[in-house]
A and B are shown apart, each in its own frame.
Chain A
Amino acid sequence: MSHDFLQMHLKAVISCLLIFLYKVHTTKAGQFFSSGHTNNWAVLVCTSRFWFNYRHVANTLSVYRSVKRLGIPDSHIVLMLADDMACNYRNPKPATVFSHKNMELNVYGDDVEVDYRGYEVTVENFLRVLTGRLPPSTPRSKRLLSDDRSNILIYLTGHGGNGFLKFQDSEEISNMELADAFEQMWQKRRYNELLFIIDTCQGASMYERFYSPNLMALASSQVGEDSLSHQPDLAIGVHLMDKYTFYLLEFLEEVHPASQANMNDLFKVCPQSQCVSTPGHRTDLFQRDPGSVLITDFFGSVRKVEITKDTINLTSPVEPPIQRSGSGDIQIESLTYVDQLPVAEIIHQKPKQKDWHPPDGFILGLWTLILLVFFQTYGIKHLKHIF
């Protein structure tokens, strides 16, 4: 009996130990994945064309600059600019886009990669990027290759109204289309959490229709209000930024990759006293409490690092192929360059072989008529002379 008691005791101890180890293991692994995402993507879109919409390009580029500074690489950013302001002929300082007057801050910089530019920024391309339904020959830099563990930041700016956003002054995207696109993304598991920021007039109408989970949205103005632009620069001659994005940029300039600022701070950006319009936000579809969501979960690409003390053996480097197959053969004939303008050859060039087409109806009809007339006049007995 003492033996059984000992066995039971041993079993209890072992099971307790196992449970304890399992808990430790899960908490350690749990800590590793506590925020739920492993990679970050950003889709930044400016939808306006023409020089007087300089401020929309500056808005998008300032968000691009912050996102790059906080760690998201170019390969994970899809930047769409509907018009070129930096190298526009009206720009007195080419290759620059300023956000502050007196040319204090050049948000264009020296290292920028625009994926969709000019006429390529259309509603169709935007929705295709979001849902991933692109033609097979699209290069990687133009695709949103997110998975179910990606946090995506989507930023839209341009001219908008109640329920729509204007693309390039010729087409619109409605809030229903946008909500359906996000639902498609959810069903295909293309995002873990999504932050949607929009800076247009009546921007709040664009997120009213969302119905997919894990979406958080911010807008620069409520329905019925206009978003206003910030300040013009007299040398450039246009308004440089919109108020909401200007204060958003100022807020983000203080965020660094290890910052603990959370979404509640972001909701407080640009109150009505500064922005004139009332910024709005929507968090009912979001699972986590906004106070526990870090800014860098969406704007940065912070990765947790695991340090190991084990040694790892690197494999020996790949030997480059030493000889080509052709070097063994003796190629005596020397290769030559082609004559750039061989006049004699060009003049006597044979015409290209045209594809053979069956004779036209007119030609057939004409020949039939000729044959008929022939046989009419000379009779059928001459047929054997022909064939």
Chain B
Amino acid sequence: SISQSSLFLNKKQHSSSKDQFQEELVIRPLHSGDIYASFQFRTLWDTDFLQEGQKKVSHYRLFPKSLGQVLSKFSVQELHISFTQGFWRTMQWGQPFIPSPPGAELWVWFHDTVSDVDGNWKELTNVLSGIFCASLNFIDMTNTVQPSASFKPLGLGNATDHRFLRYATLPREIVCTENLTPWKKLLPCGSKAGLAVLMKSEKLFHSSFHSQAVHIRPICQDEQCTSKAWELRQTLNVVFDHYTSGQGKKEWSLFKMFSRTLTEACPLASSSKVYVDITDNPELSPATPLLSQAVVLGDRRTYSVYDLTRAETFGQLRSFNLLLRWKGDNMLRPLLHAERYVAGFGLQTGEIHTVIYNNHPYRAFPVLLMDSVPWYLQLYIHTLTVTSKSRDNKPSYIHYQPAKDRHRPHLLEMLIQLPPHSMTEVTVQFERALLKWTEYTPDPNHGFYVGSSVVSALVPSMVAMSTNFTQDQPLFSSFVPVKEESSYFVRVYTEPLLVNLPTPDFSMPYNVICLTCTVVAVGYGSFYNLLTRTFQVDEPSPPLAKRLANFIRRIRGVPLLA
């Protein structure tokens, strides 16, 4: 009764405070036996963070205050931050709903009224490192780039002056419970009610892939799109491994995945749903009459929908547990796929190979490849070659910004047309630089990381995508705005590279000091002694008896003894 009354209260306030919260969970069985769960939590708020003075936003309800203050202080138009552990295997798992590279990635569009973008960026990374307990303060000018064509804003906006965009990635960043804890605290219900009770770190991090992200952008409030609202999306994608957690069987349940079951929806949520992908006809219990079809990632898929705001979903036991069983079938090969590796031997030179596969049988499409390489791998751009089907493929747009030692990294962006059913290889040679001995990390023999390449493409879709914007669209299909029906936008991240740099022997300064001091002491010291030492004859003092005898002889006036 208490939750009911609070629900009523919230409904009353809802009409005046203009913010709403939706949560959803999508479960997709993968053909390899793994299972993919994607949580999305969306808070929509009709307000303007960039107001000053009297109208400045100060009353926060569902939107977290820490993020709201960050947005207004740094005049942020769009913010995307993700923390990922593991690498998304596109060939085995297909395309994710929201892609992310391993490690931490942060890209921000600032408002066009900002005068000092770099200063705002530096402070923003420090503030976010405190909010998310991550070492984002290592983001500085040596790993920040300003892409010139990739990473267009995902929200509303007309200004696409890329001077206001900053992108940085930290491939070495570790994701653990200390990043999940503050992320969960940003949710209106925390981890106490709703779908977030399933997020227990012991199960989430015992997986093949774990990614949590925060996306903030302005979006259309309604179909006419006359006014905009701020949207905060918190997403968590996890892929549970068939063998380590599933014990080798293609049989999963919510309890097996998360060691918890659902007991109630978040009282502050206006909608709380669980979608299960049943396109490949798995066995699903409990059964539900609600079905929904959605075109997502160029494919029409059918979903069973469980509405957690309805009491009958929870049944007699007041708990909701899903059971899923399926047989592995052939999976459609993903249309776009990319790999990257380092070739060569030794610690002086090497070659970076990026391979992009176009698996569409008859359509060619363009992709935008963005590479950000740290300055200590000196790229030789005159050796850059792009070959498709063993013939030279000239990119229609190349933007290259060379690195400045210890100031900025290399940025290479190319628009390449991929021929149908082909493999395109991009190679570039590099030479490794010598770092100063203070610039090495405490464990330099581990190697140095190079961030993932980003391949952005408009892939032709088998099924017509809908460009209408409706409020009831499930969250997972409404992340990327669809502009045309025949293609969908996808972003593929390659593996990060681990490169060994020539590492000095760090005990050498100690050895040099010891050796030099020894040589100076022994060599110079003995030489100096030889030149300046004088020898004097010194008689030892005579014994006591002799001294007494000499004393008596002196008194007597007789010559002394020797």
Contact = CB atoms under 8 A, between A and B. Distances in A.
A332 B226 contact: yes
Contacts of A119: 135, 138, 441-442
B175 interface: yes
B407 interface: no
Interface stretch (A217-225, A293-301, A337-345): A337-345
B178 A117 contact: yes
B397 A349 contact: yes
A113 B133 contact: yes
Interface string B187-226: 0000000000000111011100000000000001000111
Nearest to B172: A118
Contacts of A109: 177
B387 interface: no
Interface string B502-532: 0000100000000000000000000000000
Nearest to A120: B135
A338 B158 contact: yes
Contact of A340 (B129, B130, B137, B152): B152
B137 A324 contact: no
Nearest to B204: A95
A337 B442 contact: no
B227 A341 contact: no
Nearest to A110: B201
B138 A94 contact: no
Contact of B368 (A110, A318, A327, A341): A341
Given A87-B85, A141-B133, A326-B48, A338 B157 contact: yes
Contact of A139 (B126, B135, B138): B126
Contacts of B47: 324
B538 interface: no
A326 B227 CA distance: 9
Contacts of B131: 139
Given A95-B177, A331-B226, A137 B123 contact: yes
Interface string B134-166: 110110000000001100111111101000000
Given A95-B202, A339-B152, A334 B224 contact: yes
Interface string B441-473: 111000000000000111000000000000000
Contacts of A141: 130, 133
A326 B51 CA distance: 11
Contact of A120 (B58, B137, B152): B137
Interface residues of B, number: 67
Interface string A90-131: 000111100000000000111111110111100000000000
A352 interface: yes
B280 to A, nearest CB: 29
Contacts of A342: 152
A111 B181 contact: yes
A50 interface: yes
Contacts, number: 158
A140 interface: yes
Contacts of A137: 122-123, 126-127
Interface in A312-344: 318, 320-322, 324-327, 331-332, 334-343
A341 B459 CA distance: 11
Interface string B395-413: 0110000000000000000
A259 interface: no
Contacts of B130: 115, 138-142
A84 interface: yes
Of A140, A142, A321, chain B has the most CB atoms within 10 Å of the CB of A321
A321 B172 CA distance: 44
A320 B59 contact: yes
Interface of A: 49-50, 84, 86-87, 93-96, 108-115, 117-120, 135, 137-142, 168-170, 318, 320-322, 324-327, 331-332, 334-343, 346-347, 349, 352
Interface of B: 16-17, 47-48, 51, 55, 58-59, 85, 122-123, 126-127, 129-131, 133-135, 137-138, 148-149, 152-158, 160, 172, 174-178, 181-182, 200-202, 204-206, 220, 224-228, 366, 368, 396-397, 415, 441-443, 456-458, 480-481, 483, 489, 506
30 contacts: A84-B176, A87-B175, A87-B205, A94-B205, A109-B177, A112-B177, A112-B181, A113-B181, A114-B178, A119-B442, A138-B126, A320-B16, A320-B17, A324-B55, A325-B55, A331-B227, A332-B226, A335-B157, A335-B225, A337-B155, A337-B156, A337-B220, A338-B153, A340-B458, A343-B366, A346-B149, A346-B397, A346-B415, A347-B397, A349-B149
- 5 closest A-B pairs (Cβ-Cβ)? A139-B130, A87-B176, A337-B481, A137-B126, A168-B442
